[in-house]
Amino acid sequence: MLSSKLFIRQVLALLAKDLKTEWRTREIFTSMFVFAVLVIVIFNFSIGADPELIHQVVSGVMWVALLFATVLGLQRAGQMEREEDSLYGVLLALSDSNALFVAKMIAQILYLLLLVICTLPLCSVWFRIDFLACIGGLWVVFALGILGLSIVGTLFAMVALHTRAHDVMLPMLFLPVTVPITISSVYATAQLIAGKNLKDIADYLTLMGIFDIIFFTLSLMIFDYFIEE
Amino acid sequence: MRIFGTILLFFIVFPLIFIRRNSVFQAVILYIIMDIAIFLVFIYVPTEKVQGIVQKIFYFHVSSAITMFLAFFIAFVASIMFLWKSSDWWDAVALSSVEIGVVFCTLVLITGPIWARPIWGAWWSWDPTLTLSLVLWLIYVAYLMLRADAHDPKRTRFAAVLGIVGFVDVPLIFWSVEKWRTLHPKPVLIQEGGTTGLTFAMLLTFVVCLGAFLLLFFYLLRERTSIAQSRYSLEVLRQEVDDLLAR
Amino acid sequence: MKNFWYLFAAYSIIWTALWAYTIRLSRKNKELQEELHDLQARVERVLTK
The alpha helices in chain B, defined as continuous H runs, are 2-16, 24-39, 57-85, 88-120, 128-149, 156-181, 200-246
CB contact A177 to B (< 8 Å): yes
CB contact A74 to B (< 8 Å): no
Q: Do residue B149 and residue A163 have CB atoms under 8 angstroms apart?
A: yes
Greater model confidence, A67 or A4: A67
Task: Tell me, yes or no, whether chains A and C touch by having 3 or more C-beta pairs under 8 A.
Answer: no
Nearest CA in chain B to A220: B161
Q: Summarize pLDDT for A109-132 with one digit per residue, the tens.
A: 999 999 999 999 888 888 888 888
Q: Is A222 a residue whose pLDDT tops 60? A: yes
CA distance B81 to chain A (A): 11
pLDDT score for B73: 93
The set of chains that have 3 or more CB pairs under 8 A with B is: A, C
The set of chains that have 3 or more CB pairs under 8 A with A is: B
Domain count, chain A: 1
Q: Summarize pLDDT for B62-98 with one digit per residue, the tens.
A: 889 989 999 999 999 999 998 888 888 898 999 999 9
Mean pLDDT score, C4-23: 86
Q: Summarize pLDDT for B159-189 with one digit per residue, the tens.
A: 888 899 999 988 888 888 887 776 555 544 4
Contacts 24+ apart (CB under 8 A), B224-227: B224/B95, B224/B96, B224/B99, B224/B100, B224/C25, B225/B89, B225/B92, B225/B93, B225/B96, B226/C29, B227/B96, B227/C25, B227/C28, B227/C29, B227/C32
Q: Is B20 a residue whose pLDDT tops 50? A: no
Q: Do residue A226 and residue B160 have CB atoms under 8 angstroms apart?
A: yes
Per-domain residue ranges for chain B? 52-194+219-246
How many beta-carbon pairs under 8 angstroms link B with C?
102
Q: Is B109 a residue whose pLDDT tops 50? A: yes
pLDDT score for C22: 87
Taking each helix axis as running N to C, give the angle between helix A135-160 and helix A179-193, from 0 to 180 degrees, rounded to the nearest 10: 160
- At A164, is the pLDDT very low, low, confident or very high (cuts 50, 70, 90)? low
Q: Do residue B142 and residue A179 have CB atoms under 8 angstroms apart?
A: no
Q: Is B193 a residue whose pLDDT tops 60? A: no
CB contact A87 to B (< 8 Å): no
- At B1, is the pLDDT very low, low, confident or very high (cuts 50, 70, 90)? very low
- At B134, is the pLDDT very low, low, confident or very high (cuts 50, 70, 90)? very high
Say which of B19, B115, B241 has its CB closest to residue C43.
B241
With CA atoms as reference, report the closest residue to B149 among A166, A156, A77. A166
Q: Which residue range(s) make up the domain with A49?
A: 5-227
Q: Is B15 a residue whose pLDDT tops 50? A: no
Q: Do residue B106 and residue C14 have CB atoms under 8 angstroms apart?
A: no
CA distance B113 to chain C (A): 9
d(Cα B44, Cα B21) in Å, to the nearest integer? 32
Q: Is B192 a residue whose pLDDT tops 70? A: no
pLDDT exceeding 70 applies to what percent of chain B? Answer: 81
CA distance B179 to chain C (A): 30
Neighbours of B244 (CB within 10 A): 12
Q: Is B143 a residue whose pLDDT tops 70? A: yes
Say which of C6, C26, C39 has its CB closest to residue B19.
C26
Are residues A48 and A130 in contact, defined by beta-carbon separation less than 8 angstroms? no
d(Cα A158, Cα A3) in Å, to the nearest integer? 23
ipTM of the complex: 0.82
pLDDT exceeding 90 applies to what percent of chain A? Answer: 34
Residue type, B31: Y
Q: Is B139 a residue whose pLDDT tops 90? A: yes
